[in-house]
Structure 1
Amino acid sequence: MSMRRWGRRSAAAVLAAVVAAGCTTADGQGDKAGGPGAPRVLTLANGYANLDYEPAVAYFVDRVDEVSGGALRIEVAHEWGDFAVDSEQRVVRDVAAGRADLGWAGTRAFDSLGVRGFQALTAPLLVDSHALQRAVLDSGIPERMLPDLKPLGVTGLALLADGLRRPVGVRKPLLGPADWRGIAFGTARSEAQSSALRGLGAEPFEGMGPIRDRALEQGRIDGFEMYLIGHHINNYALRAPYITANVHLWPQTAALIADTDLLGGLTGAQRDWLREAAADAARRSPQLSDQDGELVVQLCESGVRFALASAADLKGLRDALRPEYARLGQDGRTKSFIAEIERLKARLPRQPALDVPADCLAQRAR
């Protein structure tokens, strides 16, 4: 099941799953069957159609069962938010309100909820490799960012490395600044991402899943940002075949969150299980999200054509984004995080380029 088949699960069905998953006794020892000594069941809100898109979140769900010996289980409620423009923000609000126990959201979503401490993670063209994602996660930056979520009523359990978002073109590759000017470009709801896209000359089009699909069918968008696994699962090869291989707009860093009140009501052992599983998922996430090499072959076979931005294209993009970095730098904490990530990046060896077969390269328009 992909996000394009979103209609197969109605909001009512999702709600029924949530209610069923949440049927525990007052002391948290029952389950849906109500049996004594049965595992405690928590509900995790997932805005996507399934967790094939999010292998690190899937790992966390399985790991909770493993570390608890089956005493704590997570049931996933998919399509949370019904793919609305603000579906990620809804996940955060609903976890805070206790309508779900746990959830995940891209860190891009938090600035539209008034929390801007994560914007360094989506600073354009900054985090451009899985190796750098690992370095960021190992640096202590997540531990300094996650407490910023407290005013939202949720507790951050971990930040997970996720797919690198590249530009996808509908009718042509998106390379240098001239290709971006005046186009409608699909993205998630995020102040920082929308601001960066405007800096490149594009008009942001908010919407994922069926909203993006309808816009493609109606010819209302010229491109969108996507990671390779999402492009593959959604079978976008015929509708949006051009992926710029060497432009990494930003990573989709995922934040695992929990209802703060819910955590307070768990036993110490249950809280420890959740935190251990979240920490394990964070450590494994760079490896789990790095499927690009395998996906290139599958995407090429399906009709995708990868394009390569030239050195002049890349310089033009960076120059166009200088005002965006000036804007981000107005917040001292964000400026400090960006500088720290830049230092981590400078210490890493040069990362290998995506290995694209020659017959899968898009010809540059003359």
Structure 2
Amino acid sequence: MNFVGGVSGLGLYVSGCGSRSWIFRARVAGKRRDMGLGGFPDVTLAQAREMARDARAKLRIGIDPIEERRSARSALIAARATAVTFSRAAGLYIEAQEATWRNPKHRQQWANTLTTYAGPHIGGMLVRDIEVGHVMAALEPIWAVRTETASRLRGRIESVLDWATVRGFRAGPNPARWKGHLDKLLPAPGKLKKVDHHRSLPYAEAQAFMDRLRVQEGMGARALELVVLTAARSGEVRGATWNEFDLDQAVWVVPAERMKAKREHRVPLSAQAVALLRRMEEVRMTAYVFPGSRKEMISDMTISAALRRMGLDAVPHGFRSTFRDWAAEQTEFPREVAEMALAHTVGTAVERAYLRTDLFDRRRQLMQAWADYVCPQAKE
């Protein structure tokens, strides 16, 4: 190495292949250390001298310029490793969580909400840089006009940022948290928009409705009949397959994977429900009890269309409320029998641990009474 003068320890190193680079040599804590300053001619002599002087000045005040450079490089690498955008973090969060989601559409709903409403405001931002103002920019435009969507969006942003914090991509409080934070900046969703419960039919009108429904044509009308007679969710009826039914024993066993609570549900079938299914069995075409035009399960819109054609201001799910109101006001059956008929979870965890029965026989009596109420002439 050829020392060039101007600054003590500055030299030009020439390798065996002829390349040249600047080296600053000094003693640090009693040991000789070499510090590279860059290659010549990219780094001029004047620039090399300036860097060497800066290193020499740091040594005089007890700073090791070599370790300082290594720390800076390490910090840069760490910063790059945590430089994750919100869109990227959202995708990683969804991948990590989707196996726990019951509904296959959940992933698409999450991705669509975050892409549509959060993406334009914070999608390209690094999660470590997102603050409350950025979250508010995504929420405020839709908070009053699309309150339910905005509320879900806030919760999903909060979940993604919580995940990013645990993964080390950001630090500090979550700017999307609600309690004690955004609740001071935004009105509570419940005060902006009244909860829109499923529109239902008063039970006093149920028999007249069923009389009209039974003369309607179409697969949607027949599926809706079973919805009413069993108080089941429309999705459970739409996806029903023939192997789930034992018509001789008058029982329908809905497998756990098709139930909201992910527990198998036995449905006692009234005489009216069995008669309906016997008629459907005569025209059986596929594994589905109520197939659509492509021989797959019918769509939810097909059942809703049957209601619209009848001019009824209700939704299929609302008939569960109709049934529940009737059971509470017109029968002496215990509450837990009606709740189990709806496949609801009954009681506390301790109570459920001791209640091992599904009250099937009592539920059979209840469902027959309900069928007799809405279809007194349709047992055969």
Q: TM range, normalised to the smaller chain?
A: under 0.3
Bigger Cα Rg: 2
Larger % of strand: which? 1
Larger % of helix: which? 2
Query: Highest relative contact order (Cα 8 Å, sep 6+), 1 or 2?
Result: 1
